[in-house]
Structure 1
Amino acid sequence: MDRFDLIVVGSGPAGRRGAIQAAKLGKRVLVIEQGKRVGGVSVHTGTIPSKTLRETALNLSGWRERGFYGRAYRVKQEISASDLRRRLLITLDHEVEVLEHQFARNRVHHIRGKASFVDPQTMQVVKDDGEVIHVTGASILLAVGTKPFRPDYMPFDGRTVLDSDELLEIEELPRSMVVIGAGVIGIEYATIFSALDTQVTLIDPKSTMLDFIDKEIVEDFIYQLRDRNMKLLLGQKAEKVTRQDGKVELLLDNGRHIVTDMVLFAAGRMGATDTLNLAAAGLEADNRGRLSVNPETFATNVPHIFAAGDVVGFPSLASTSMEQGRIAARVAVGAIAKEPPKYFPYGIYAVPEISTCGLTEEEVKERHIPYECGIARFRETSRGHIMGLDTGLLKMIFSLKTRRLLGVHIVGEGATELVHIGQAVLNLKGTVEYFVENTFNYPTLAEAYKIAGLDAWNRMGDIKSEL
Structure 2
Amino acid sequence: MTTREFDTIVIGAGPGGEGAAMKLAKTGQRIAVVEAHQRVGGGCTHWGTIPSKALRHAIQMLADYRRNPLFQHTQHQIEIEFPDLLRAADGAIDDQVRTRFRYYRRNRVEVVFGRAVFLEPNLIEVRRARGPSERLRAKHFVIATGSRPYHPPDIDFSHPRVLDSDSVLGLQQTPRSLTIYGAGVIGCEYASIMGALDVKVNLVNTRDRLLSFLDDEITDALSYHLRQQGVVIRHDEVYEHVEPEADGVVLHCRSGKKFKTDYLLWANGRAGNTQDMGLEEIGLAPNRRGQLEVNASYQTALPHIYAVGDVAGPPALASASYDQGRFVGAHIADGECGWSLIEEFPTGIYTVPEISSVGRTERELTAAQIPYEVAQADFKSIARAQITGHTVGMLKLLFHRETLEILGIHCFGEQAAEIVHIGQAIMSQQGSANNIRYFTETTFNYPTMAEAYRVAALNGLNRLF
TM-score bin (small chain): over 0.9
Residue 271 (structure 1) aligned with residue 272 (structure 2): yes
Partner of 2:99: 98
Q: Is the Cα contact below 8 Å between 1:65 and 1:387 reproduced in 2? A: no
1:5 paired with 2:16, answer no
CA drift of 1:157 comes to 3.4
Partner amino acid, structure 1, of 2:451? E
SS in 1 for 2:463: helix
- Larger mean Cα displacement after TM superposition, 412-421 or 158-167: 158-167
- Equivalent runs, 1:281-430 vs 2, <5 Å: 281-295=282-296, 297-334=297-334, 336-337=336-337, 338-429=339-430, 430=434
How many angstroms does 1:389 deviate by?
3.1
Q: Write the distance in 1 (CA, Å) between the matches of 2:73 and 2:148.
A: 37
Q: Which moved more, 1:362-371 or 1:7-16?
A: 362-371
| 2:78 matched residue in structure 1 | 77
Does the CA contact (< 8 Å) of 2:51 and 2:86 recur in 1?
no
The match for 2:452 is 448
> 1:377 and 1:75, CA in 2 relative to 1: closer, same or farther beyond 3 A?
farther
Cα pair distance change 1:339/1:64, threshold 3 Å: farther
SS of the equivalent of 2:408 reads strand
Is the 1:373–1:397 Cα contact (8 Å) retained in structure 2?
yes
- Distance in 2 separating the partners of 1:456 and 1:379: 18
- Return the offset for 1:280: 2.5
Displacement of 1:324 after TM fit? Answer: 0.2
Is 2:132 the partner of 1:139? no
CA distance in 1, matches of 2:285, 2:449: 48
Are the counterparts in 2 of residues 174 and 198 from structure 1 also a CA contact under 8 Å?
yes
The C-alpha deviation readout for 1:106-153, integer Å capped at 9, x for no partner, is 000111111111111111110232422111110000000001111122
Question: How much does 1:287 deviate?
Answer: 1.0
1:158-204 CA-to-partner distances (Å, cap 9, x unmatched) read 63111110011111111111100011111111111111111111002
The alpha-carbon distance between structure 1 residues 71 and 225, as it changes in their structure 2 partners (threshold 3 A), is: farther
Which amino acid is 1:56 matched to?
Answer: A
Q: What residue is the counterpart of 1:464 in the other structure?
A: none
d(CA) in 2 for partners of 1:422, 1:14: 26
Letter of the structure 1 residue corresponding to residue 306 of structure 2: F
What per-residue deviation string (whole Å, max 9, x for no partner) do you get for residues 11-60 of structure 1?
0000011111101110000100001111110111111111111112222x
Q: Distance in 2 between matches of 1:63 and 1:241?
A: 37
Give the partner amino acid of 1:435.
F
Q: 1:15-94 alignment to 2 at 5 Å? A: 15-59=17-61, 61-63=62-64, 66=67, 74=75, 77-94=78-95
Separation in 2 of the partners of 1:454 and 1:46? 39
Cα distance, 1:239 vs. partner?
2.0
Partner of residue 463, structure 2: 459
- Shift in alpha-carbon separation, 1:416–1:68, aligned structure 2, 3 A: farther
TM-score calculated relative to the size of structure 1: 0.94
Aligned-pair CA distance for 1:341: 3.7
Following the alignment from structure 2 to structure 1, what is the Cα–Cα distance between the partners of residues 211 and 240? 23
CA distance in 2, matches of 1:380, 1:110: 51
1:432 equivalent to 2:433? Answer no
Structure 1 distance, partners of 2:132, 2:112, is 12
- Using a 3 Å threshold, how does the CA distance of structure 1 residues 403 and 109 change in structure 2: closer, same or farther? same
Q: CA deviation at 1:90?
A: 1.3
- Give the TM-score of the pair, scaled to structure 2: 0.94
**Residues 330-339 or 270-279, more deviating:** 330-339
Structure 1 stretch displaced more, 337-346 or 176-185: 337-346
1:220, CA displacement in angstroms?
Answer: 1.4
In structure 2, C-alpha distance between the alignment counterparts of 1:389 and 1:307, rounded to whole Å: 41
Over 3 Å counting, the alpha-carbon distance change for 1:67 and 1:227 in structure 2 is: farther
Kindly provide the amino acid, as one letter, of the partner of residue 52 in structure 1. A
**Bigger shift: residues 337-346 or 422-431:** 337-346
Distance in 2 (alpha carbons) for counterparts of 1:71 and 1:380 = 25
Output aligned runs, 1:236-247, within 5 Å: 236-247=237-248
Q: Secondary structure of 1:41's match?
A: helix
- Post-superposition Cα deviations, 1:246-291, rounded to whole Å, max 9, x if no partner, equal 2222222222232211110010000000111112222111111111
C-alpha displacement of 1:314: 1.2
State the secondary structure of the residue aligned to 1:118: strand
Q: Is the 8 A contact 2:285 2:292 kept in 1?
A: yes
The answer to whether the 8 A contact 1:290-1:313 is kept is yes
Question: Residues 355 and 300 of structure 1: is their aligned pair in 2 closer, same or farther, counting only changes over 3 Å?
Answer: same
For residue 458 of structure 1, what is the amino acid of its counterpart? N
1:312-363, Cα deviation, whole Å (9 max, x unpaired): 1111111110000010111122265211344321111111211001111122
Structure 2 unaligned regions, length at least 5? none
Distance in 1 (alpha carbons) for counterparts of 2:275 and 2:159:
22
One-letter code of the match for 1:129? R
User: Whole-Å Cα distance in 1 between the matches of residues 421 and 335 of structure 2?
Assistant: 29
Stretch of structure 1 that moved more, 76-85 or 9-18: 76-85
Instruction: Count how many residue pairs are aligned between Structure 1 and Structure 2.
Output: 459
Letter in 1 for 2:216: K
Contact in 2 for aligned 1:31/1:108 (Cα 8 Å): yes
Give the 3 Å change call, closer, same or farther, for CA 251–44 of structure 1 in structure 2: same
Tell me whether 11-20 or 239-248 shows the greater mean CA deviation: 239-248
The one-letter code sitting in structure 1 at the alignment partner of 2:450 is: A
Instruction: Summarize the Cα distance change of 1:76–1:148 in structure 2 as closer, same or farther, 3 Å threshold.
Output: farther
Matched letter for residue 421 of structure 1: I
